[in-house]
Amino acid sequence: MYTQWAVEIKNVTKRYNEIVAVNNLSLNIGSGEIFGLLGPNGSGKSTTLKMLLGLVTPDKGSVTVLGLDPLKQPVEVKRLVGYVPEAANIYEFLTGIEYLDFIADVYGIPTAEKKQRITEYLKAMQLEGREGDMINSYSDGMKKKISLISAFLHKPKLLLLDEPLNALDPRSARIVKDFLHELKGQGVTTIMSTHVLEIAEAICDRIGIMYQGQLLALGNMDELRKTAMLPGSGLEDVFLKLTGTEDLRAVVEELMK
Amino acid sequence: MNWKNVLYLLRIERKSGRLIRGIKATRYKENVFIAYWPYWAALAIGVIGGYVASVAALTVYSSGSVPTGLKPLNVEALGFFSVLPTLVLGISIVFTLFQQVQVAGKPSSQVEFWLPVTWQEHTLASILANLLGWPAAVVVGLSSGVIVFSAFNGLILQALLTALIMFAAAFLASSITEILRVLQVRFTGAVYKSSGRAAIWVRFVSYILIIAIFYIIYFYVTSGFSSFITGLTAAQSAAWYIPLIWPALVISYVGKGLYLQALLFTALSALLIAGLYYLAVELNTRLGLYEPPAITVQKSGIYEPKTGFLGKLGFSTVEAALIRKDLRAFTRRRELLSIYIFPIILIIVALFGSFSGTSSSTSSSTGVAVSAGIIFLLPASVMGMLLGEILIGEEGQAIWRIYASPISPENLVKSKYFIAILFSIIILALSASIGVVFFHPSVREAIVATVEAFLMVLALSSVSLQVGFKGADFSQTRRARMIRQEWSLVGLIMCAVTGAAVFAPVIIPYGLSLLSGRSSSTLDYAVGVAISAVVSIAISAIVYRINIGSAEELLRKAET
């Protein structure tokens, strides 16, 4: 289906002391693909994303991103990637515009282009009028918007988005979803981790379900349904079945006692 | 009042201040002995100090030749006891205010705002949490000292009363800090709202002024302790109308056997403490949930990217961006503003030292020379050292932005080193100007001192940046840590050694010439400065290379 891989992960394992965060993971993601990484908390999604950026060194296996090794050529890889972490820890003493200015400079965006892009993004994300305020006065949603803009600003070839739509209002979430589709048309690859299954189902070309550091299932919605042997079901049922947590009635009954 | 709620809140608040930082511990277990070390240390110092004081007093008073002017032991002891509450009050206000300044930049968890906790409980827990840091350790130390001393001198009841009143004084101080904290938030909000963009500078200047004033008071109290105590003993009886003196007056009147007055001031002190507590509760109820408005730095619609002066200085776009970011951090982040205090304090202390030693003796002229030397050399050097140590750790939790961006190790080191040198040079310009104005050195002396200070800045900034890489602490639990304590100590030692190595080629010949009675020639100074420059540049260059290696390691091992 894909002629070129944007990301190749081969037999990667990552341990934190006795905890195995990622266990022998192998996965290829095509250029221009929107790939969803699903899994319960602590299943290894964020660690996987960080390994793609060279922020976490695998204990075993290899990772190739856009033909580059993130461990050997970290700066080159980072230049091509836009990253949004789960927690928006950004420089709160800067104003929104100063932060984006900083990001644009770090990625080497020319001055005229920088001005145009920042202005457009601020308008699209409805941050106009607040861009001159210090970020410490922003709501979580506004901080997320600034984080997203900072990932899009330098027109990356690969987007690594960890829970990108958390805290966003419906309008902004819709803009981001549509924007990701547009970027796909331009050959930009997106890998996003999310707990919002409806979003994954709606926008992802393929979905990988991780559980305890391993890839349990991989494919588009039809393939996942087949794997779970749940024809006609939604992603929620497929996900719960594959991660072995489908029978939650007993848990709820216990809570009701 | 649900006392259990107060206790629970207090535990959380205190524990957050004690947690081990810089270690990603998945299983954290607290060792009670280590966690409460300031109290044990204070207790040990107090017991030993009290015993030594008791032995000394007994020796003096049993020798038969009691110095003239010395009153009977119990009168002298009670006079000393009576100033302790006021002393504790002063120290506690300074300490608790410092604590507030340190955590001011960090938003509170606000969990207590939505839990079923009353404002009375919240306020009491907050007051006690402030108190249970260094102020409590001071009370423990002084109380144990006073009690041990009194056990040998038949003043045990008065000692117990003094201990109790010292705790009350510390509580009083903490209540005042709580009131000031709430008012400060509201006042700051009003200032932000009316000052707009100038709010940044209003905040910058006011913070530095406030902290500088408190440091001066603190130095004044601690440097002239004995004269301060004597002065305070005489002053506080006359100043009975100042409410903050009331707790101390209770001891004073008990010592004089005036029990009715003691009872009156006990009642007044209790009323004062209760009044301040209820005022704090009332203020918290009205203003506790107040969030200061945002500081608007730019008006909307006027964004114009600047090409920047830094580019002309040879910095790449990435380096210039990092430098601009840090320049803003050091004028806006409240927890970073305290960095300016140490150089300013050094200048003030040197000036005070020279003023107090201007009587025309040889030793005082040497003292003035030392003060002049301090003013030229130390503020900028200390600035370079402190900045170097914290410049990596100050990134805090936002360090991921550095990890995830296309920033090379060279970019990182160059920009951080530049910031340390830039701020140190600004301080050097300030301190050298003050030195020239107040100490009138010759042109040759002024040039040598300024060049030496610059050479120290170059070397110390590089060395301390290395310490900053090794000991960086990105955790922001309760307050930004920036550097691990043990590495801060290592940095101090390394910088002392480096400073000595850089300065030795100038100071050793100067010292020898003083001893031999001949004056140093310009050539002597020139040779000394030249060797000093070689040493400084060599150290800076070697450590700079090491710093690039450390930066590479930091960026590669982002996960830890």
Q: Is the pLDDT of residue B24 over 90?
A: no
- DSSP characters for B53-79? HHHHHHHHHHSS-PPTTPPPHHHHHHH
Whether B555 sits inside 8 A of A130 (CB atoms) is no
Picking from B443, B328, B453, B281, the residue whose alpha carbon sits closest to that of residue A99 is B328
Inter-residue contact B444 to B525 (CB < 8 Å): yes
For residue B110 the two structure tokens come to 């606000």
Whether A89 sits inside 8 A of B317 (CB atoms) is no
For residue A9 the two structure tokens come to 């992960």
Residue B296 DSSP symbol? B
What pLDDT is attached to residue B21? 43
Per-residue pLDDT tens digits for A10-53: 999 999 888 899 999 999 999 999 999 998 888 899 899 999 98
Please, is B279 exposed, middle or buried when counting C-beta atoms within 10 Å of its C-beta (0-12, 13-18, 19+)? middle
What pLDDT is attached to residue B20? 42
Whether A132 sits inside 8 A of B305 (CB atoms) is no
Average pLDDT score over residue span B34-42: 84
For residue A229 the two structure tokens come to 């042997």
Average pLDDT score over residue span B487-498: 94
Asked if B238 has any chain A CB less than 8 Å from its own CB, the reply is no
Per-residue pLDDT tens digits for B205-227: 777 777 777 767 766 666 666 66
Residue of B nearest to A138 (CA): B294
For the domain covering A5-87+157-219, report its CATH number. 3.40.50.300
Which residue type does B288 have? G
Out of B294, B303, B322, the one facing A118 most closely (by C-beta) is B303
Residue count of chain A, please give it: 257
What pLDDT is attached to residue B360? 47
How do beta strands A214-219 and A206-211 pair?
antiparallel
Please, is B492 exposed, middle or buried when counting C-beta atoms within 10 Å of its C-beta (0-12, 13-18, 19+)? middle
Per-residue pLDDT tens digits for A65-106: 999 999 889 899 999 999 998 887 889 888 899 999 999 999
A129 vs B contacts (CB less than 8 Å)? 300
Distance from CA of B107 to the nearest CA of A (A): 9
What pLDDT is attached to residue B212? 73
What pLDDT is attached to residue A111? 85
Q: Is the pLDDT of residue A233 over 50?
A: yes
Residue of A nearest to B317 (CA): A105
Average pLDDT score over residue span B244-251: 87
Q: Is the pLDDT of residue B27 over 60?
A: no
The domain limits of chain B are: 3-20+30-287, 309-556
What pLDDT is attached to residue B213? 75
How many other C-beta atoms are found inside a 10 Å radius of the C-beta of residue B71?
Answer: 11
- Residue B252 to residues B75, B147, B157, B240, B245, Cα–Cα distance (Å): 10, 17, 14, 11, 11
Does residue B483 sit in helix, strand or coil?
A: strand
Residue B93 to residue B217: CA distance in whole angstroms: 11
Q: Is the pLDDT of residue B167 over 70?
A: yes
Picking from B161, B164, B158, the residue whose alpha carbon sits closest to that of residue B140 is B164
Which residue type does B170 have? A
Average pLDDT score over residue span B89-104: 77
Handedness of CA A135, A140, A144, A147 (dihedral sign): positive
Does residue B333 sit in helix, strand or coil?
A: coil
Inter-residue contact B168 to B174 (CB < 8 Å): no
Rg of chain A over all Cα atoms, to the nearest angstrom: 19
Inter-residue contact B405 to A107 (CB < 8 Å): yes
Average pLDDT, chain A: 88
A153 vs B contacts (CB less than 8 Å)? none
**Which of A93, A94, A114 should one mutate to test binding to chain B, selecting the residue with the greatest count of B CBs within 10 A?**
A93
Does residue B482 sit in helix, strand or coil?
A: strand
**Which of A15, A69, A134, A142 should one mutate to test binding to chain B, selecting the residue with the greatest count of B CBs within 10 A?**
A134
How many other C-beta atoms are found inside a 10 Å radius of the C-beta of residue B23?
Answer: 10
**Which of A106, A113, A133, A139 should one mutate to test binding to chain B, selecting the residue with the greatest count of B CBs within 10 A?**
A106
Cβ neighbours of residue B126 closer than 8 Å, sequence gap 6 or more? B9, B13, B178, B284
Asked if A104 has any chain B CB less than 8 Å from its own CB, the reply is yes
What pLDDT is attached to residue B359? 47
Residue B49 DSSP symbol? H
B332 vs A contacts (CB less than 8 Å)? 93, 134
Average pLDDT score over residue span B174-202: 78
Residue B205 to residue B420: CA distance in whole angstroms: 20
For residue B212 the two structure tokens come to 């500088």
Asked if B69 has any chain A CB less than 8 Å from its own CB, the reply is no
Distance from CA of B454 to the nearest CA of A (A): 30
For residue A204 the two structure tokens come to 């992802």
Asked if B310 has any chain A CB less than 8 Å from its own CB, the reply is no
Residue of B nearest to A71 (CA): B556
- B-facing residues of A in 163-202 (CB < 8 A) are none
Q: Is the pLDDT of residue B391 over 50?
A: yes
What pLDDT is attached to residue B428? 95
Residue B493 to residue A227: CA distance in whole angstroms: 63
Asked if A114 has any chain B CB less than 8 Å from its own CB, the reply is yes
Q: Is the pLDDT of residue B545 over 50?
A: yes
What pLDDT is attached to residue B146? 93
What pLDDT is attached to residue B308? 73
Percent of chain B's residues with pLDDT above 90: 36
Picking from B372, B395, B68, the residue whose alpha carbon sits closest to that of residue A102 is B395
Out of B26, B324, B328, the one facing A93 most closely (by C-beta) is B328
Out of A78, A118, A128, the one facing B404 most closely (by C-beta) is A78
Asked if A83 has any chain B CB less than 8 Å from its own CB, the reply is yes
Out of A79, A89, A133, the one facing B295 most closely (by C-beta) is A133
Asked if A21 has any chain B CB less than 8 Å from its own CB, the reply is no
Whether A56 sits inside 8 A of B329 (CB atoms) is no
pLDDT, greater one: B79 or A155: A155
Per-residue pLDDT tens digits for A102-156: 999 999 898 888 889 999 999 988 888 888 888 888 888 999 999 999 999 999 9
Predicted-assembly ipTM surpassing the 0.85 threshold: no
Per-residue pLDDT tens digits for B470-482: 998 887 766 677 8
Per-residue pLDDT tens digits for A166-203: 888 888 888 888 899 999 999 999 999 988 788 888 88
Out of B298, B318, B328, the one facing A106 most closely (by C-beta) is B318
Whether B305 sits inside 8 A of A111 (CB atoms) is yes
What pLDDT is attached to residue B535? 96
CA A19 to the chain's CA centroid: 23
Query: What is the 3 state secondary structure string of chain A?
Result: CCCCEEEEEEEEEEEECCEEEEEEEEEEEECCCEEEEECCCCCCHHHHHHHHCCCCCCCEEEEEECCECCCCCHHHHHHHEEEECCCCCCCCCCEHHHHHHHHHHHCCCCHHHHHHHHHHHHHHCCCCCCCCEEHHHCCHHHHHHHHHHHHHCCCCCEEEEECCCCCCCHHHHHHHHHHHHHHHHCCCEEEEECCCHHHHHHHCCEEEEEECCEEEEEECHHHHHHHHCCCCCCHHHHHHHHCCCCCCHHHHHHHHC
Residue B327 DSSP symbol? H
In the sheet with A5-16, reading across from the earlier edge strand, the strands are A19-30, A5-16, A60-65
Picking from B555, B539, B462, B553, the residue whose alpha carbon sits closest to that of residue B501 is B539
**Which of B192, B195, B306, B317 should one mutate to test binding to chain A, selecting the residue with the greatest count of A CBs within 10 A?**
B317
Which residue type does A5 have? W
For residue B273 the two structure tokens come to 């403490």
What pLDDT is attached to residue B22? 42
Residue A111 to residue A104: CA distance in whole angstroms: 9
B400 vs A contacts (CB less than 8 Å)? 55, 85, 89
Asked if B297 has any chain A CB less than 8 Å from its own CB, the reply is yes
The domain limits of chain A are: 5-87+157-219
Picking from B49, B254, B264, B38, the residue whose alpha carbon sits closest to that of residue B132 is B38
Average pLDDT, chain B: 83
Picking from B507, B538, B537, the residue whose alpha carbon sits closest to that of residue B525 is B507
Whether A91 sits inside 8 A of B401 (CB atoms) is yes
Whether B294 sits inside 8 A of A136 (CB atoms) is yes
